[in-house]
Amino acid sequence: MTPRISARIAAIAESATLAVDAKAKALKAAGRPVIGFGAGEPDFPTPDYIVEAAAAATKVVANHRYTPAAGLPELREAIVAKTKRDSNYDVTVDQVLVTNGGKQSVYQAFAAIVDPGDEVLLPSPFWTTYPECVKLAGGVSVEVFADETQNYLVSVEQLEAARTPKTKVLLFCSPSNPTGSVYSVEQVKAIGEWAVKHGIWVITDEIYEHLLYDGATAPSLPVLVPELADTCIIINGVAKTYAMTGWRVGWMIGPKDVIKAATNLQSHLTSNVANVSQRAAIAALNGNLDAVHKMGEAFDRRRKLIVGLLNEIPGFKCPTPTGAFYVYPSVKSVLGTTIRGNLCRTCNVDFGRGRSCRSTRRSIWALWIFALFICNK
């Protein structure tokens, strides 16, 4: 019998983080006292000035029509200016493609440069979407694993050990989803120089660039290593910084030929991002960062609270993240024991590793998201 679903789509795994979130909601609906820490989004409303710009945009007839697939010219210009302001990286408008959220940028970045059989190095733990995008592009994900003893940060030596003649791309994310770890300037530069030396592309996810604590910084790879610019794609968006996860506006920045190819793909896939959302994003990027800093202060308080509470649990070991809004405790020491009469065991969801649990090593960390409102101080 011919399968009803194509092998390509049937091979895609369910999002592990969404599965955790769904489980928490089901338990809560059943009357269980559950607090869900699964969905990676701020609990703040989008700042008023952004919402007001969107409301005004709904009344402009031009926003009711098709617009360029690559994005509104005003938004692409705002992204160029924002990239210079925040990263000190000079790009041109034809290096920018506006997408339906950062997730579409991730997919299109891999689709644009990965051929069947190409290997993509994924520092692990990683966001669940990355390996599925690699798979859809025909690539092969190669995990490069770092646990809590390394603060979940891979080394150049580990990357080199994983490199083969088939290695085409490195996926880099700092601050990290799902660990909140941040690479130092020296580490970022060393990784960029390693990639240049071996002719490896880098897709760098900068979506959490403004969520930093304890003096941490998140320099953009092609700024530290200018030679990488021609083989580097930057992923970013407004979702996390401005509490705009539902507005679905992201972008990719890269070499002109890659952006042109990705734009061609998007012209057939989705065409333009909703114009009202684009107008909201223009207001966000052209405005100041006061609301962003205020949210960051609240995230910092929550970060300190949840790390402290988790580390009070016997057997839990939770490094203090210096970026994003995630904590990623190791719970390996409590497996097989009981807490308040409940047996601690692995489950059929691998928190933040992108697949179902297949080994003990892959089931001894848990993702917690402190973007949720857990205290009012």
Question: Would you say residue 75 has pLDDT above 70?
Answer: yes
| Number of domains present in the structure of the chain | 2
pLDDT category, 27, cuts 50, 70, 90? confident
pLDDT per residue over 144-170, tens digit each?
999 999 999 999 999 999 999 999 999
CA torsion angle for 166, 194, 81, 111 (degrees, to 10)? 10
The verdict on 316 and 355 lying in the same domain is yes
The verdict on 261 and 325 lying in the same domain is no
376 lies in some domain? no
The CATH number for 93's domain is 3.40.640.10
pLDDT category, 372, cuts 50, 70, 90? low
Question: Would you say residue 355 has pLDDT above 50?
Answer: no
The single-letter DSSP state of residue 337 is S
306 lies in some domain? yes
CA torsion angle for 64, 104, 25, 9 (degrees, to 10)? 120
Mean pLDDT of 79-104: 98
Q: How far is CA 267 from CA 25, 35, 70, 221, 263, in A?
A: 36, 41, 8, 28, 6
328 lies in some domain? yes
pLDDT of residue 36: 75
Which residue carries 């789509």 as its tokens? 9
Euclidean distance between CA atoms 70 and 176, whole angstroms: 27
Q: Indicate the helix (H) or strand (E) that contains 177.
A: none
The verdict on 157 and 15 lying in the same domain is no
Euclidean distance between CA atoms 236 and 253, whole angstroms: 8
The verdict on 17 and 123 lying in the same domain is no
Euclidean distance between CA atoms 213 and 148, whole angstroms: 19
The CATH number for 304's domain is 3.90.1150.10
Query: Which of 286, 321, 346 marks a domain boundary?
Result: 286
The verdict on 53 and 40 lying in the same domain is no
The verdict on 143 and 264 lying in the same domain is yes
Question: Would you say residue 277 has pLDDT above 50?
Answer: yes
pLDDT category, 350, cuts 50, 70, 90? very low
Tell me what percent of the residues of the chain surpass a pLDDT of 70. 91
The verdict on 280 and 300 lying in the same domain is no
Query: Which of 232, 255, 286 marks a domain boundary?
Result: 286
Who contacts 316 (Cβ-Cβ below 8 Å, separation ≥6)? 310, 329, 330, 331, 333, 334
pLDDT per residue over 122-137, tens digit each?
999 999 999 999 999 9
Side-chain-side CA neighbours of 123 within 13 Å: the count stands at 31
- The sheet carrying 250-253 orders its strands as 96-99, 250-253, 232-237, 201-205, 167-173, 119-124, 140-145
The verdict on 104 and 120 lying in the same domain is yes
pLDDT per residue over 185-226, tens digit each?
999 999 999 999 999 999 999 999 999 999 999 999 999 999
The verdict on 143 and 243 lying in the same domain is yes
Mean pLDDT of the chain: 90
pLDDT category, 377, cuts 50, 70, 90? very low
Q: What region, left, alpha or beta, does residue 340 occupy, with left being phi > 0 and alpha being psi -120 to 50 degrees? A: left
| SS3 category, 187 | helix
The answer to whether 156 and 191 are in contact (CB under 8 A) is yes
39 lies in some domain? yes
Question: Would you say residue 246 has pLDDT above 90?
Answer: yes
Q: How far is CA 346 from CA 137, 181, 263, in A?
A: 31, 24, 42
pLDDT category, 35, cuts 50, 70, 90? confident
pLDDT of residue 375: 44
The verdict on 93 and 208 lying in the same domain is yes
pLDDT category, 342, cuts 50, 70, 90? confident
Tell me what percent of the residues of the chain surpass a pLDDT of 90. 77
pLDDT category, 366, cuts 50, 70, 90? low
Question: Would you say residue 303 has pLDDT above 80?
Answer: yes
The verdict on 174 and 246 lying in the same domain is yes
Query: Which of 286, 305, 328 marks a domain boundary?
Result: 286
pLDDT per residue over 94-133, tens digit each?
999 999 999 999 999 999 999 999 999 999 999 999 999 9
Domain that residue 138 falls in:
48-286
The verdict on 266 and 301 lying in the same domain is no
